[in-house]
Amino acid sequence: MRFTRSLTAAVVVVIVLSAAVVAAAVAASSRSTSPDAMSHPMSHSMMSMTSAAQTTPTAADLRVKLDNLFGEHAVLAMNATNAGVTGSKAFPAAAKALDANSVALSKAIASVYGAKAGRTFLDGRFMWRAHIKFFVDYTVAVAKHDKAGQNRAVANLKTYTVKFGDFLAAATGLPKAAVRNDLLGHVLELKGQLDAFAARKYPKATMLYHDAYNHMFMTGDLVAGAIAKQKNLG
């Protein structure tokens, strides 16, 4: 009974977090000035931004920053979903830390492409916070043994890999397929880790935790390298 009550409490917290994230995404999308701006968000936000008024990072600084932030994202996301699916009282603190990391990532993007681009990265439709919300949805569905809910969340996560992948590709000049595939790998690793953890297959969950963390350094290198080449960062 104690486990059931704690799990139920965690699910409630997760749902509240989901609503907050959705509200943020809706608010961000309402700032778009035209349908074309949503269909090609980068061309109307990130690519049109000038960073003259900002301090542009060096290539090495950007790589270290993005590697650390992306790696931290994976760890914090898995900590949050593991806590949520077990009903741990640590979940609210884990979710708060995860969102702080998301904000830090958006600021790193804004340091190169401008404040508007940073906001789109963070709160745009099917962008960064949205994919965290979809993982929250998946966690709730796993906790409730809701297969339909799991399938919906996975479908949304796959759409995210396409929409957000195209967003990053347009910004950095990377091939769309490469970015989409990298994001899909990240999504599947986090999903697999949560599935193993929820099934109490802890050795497998630990291995996937390690793999998901290391993968994000490849993501950081990919994005930072493209930005450094594009912006001629020293």
Contacts of 126 (CB under 8 A, 6+ apart): 156, 159, 160, 163, 164
- The pLDDT tens digits for 133-144 are 999 999 999 999
Q: What is the pLDDT along the chain (234 residues), one digit of tens a residue?
A: 443 344 444 444 443 444 343 333 333 333 333 334 333 444 444 444 443 345 667 899 999 999 999 999 999 999 999 999 999 999 999 999 999 999 999 999 998 899 999 999 999 999 999 999 999 999 999 999 999 999 999 999 999 999 999 999 999 999 999 999 999 999 999 999 999 999 999 999 999 999 999 999 999 999 999 999 999 987
Contacts of 15 (CB under 8 A, 6+ apart): 140
Q: Is residue 17 part of a domain?
A: yes
Q: Is residue 14 part of a domain?
A: yes
Residue 113: CB atoms within 10 Å:
25
Report the half-sphere exposure of 225 (CA within 13 A, side-chain side): 8
Q: Is residue 47 part of a domain?
A: no
Domain count, the chain: 1
- The pLDDT tens digits for 51-88 are 334 566 789 999 999 999 999 999 999 999 999 999 99
Q: Is residue 43 part of a domain?
A: no
Q: Is residue 139 part of a domain?
A: yes
Q: Is residue 39 part of a domain?
A: no
Q: Is residue 44 part of a domain?
A: no
Q: Three-class SS string for 35-87?
A: HHHHHCHHHHCCCCCCCCCCCCCCHHHHHHHHHHHHHHHHHHHHHHHHHHHHC
Query: Alpha-carbon distance 89 to 66, whole Å?
Result: 30
Which residues form the domain of 30? 2-34+60-231
Cα torsion angle, 50, 165, 32, 97, sign: negative
Q: Three-class SS string for 166-217?
A: HHHHHHHCCCHHHHHHHHHHHHHHHHHHHHHHHCCCHHHHHHHHHHHHHHHH
Q: Is residue 49 part of a domain?
A: no
Of 163, 160, 222, whose CA–CA distance to 187 is shortest? 160
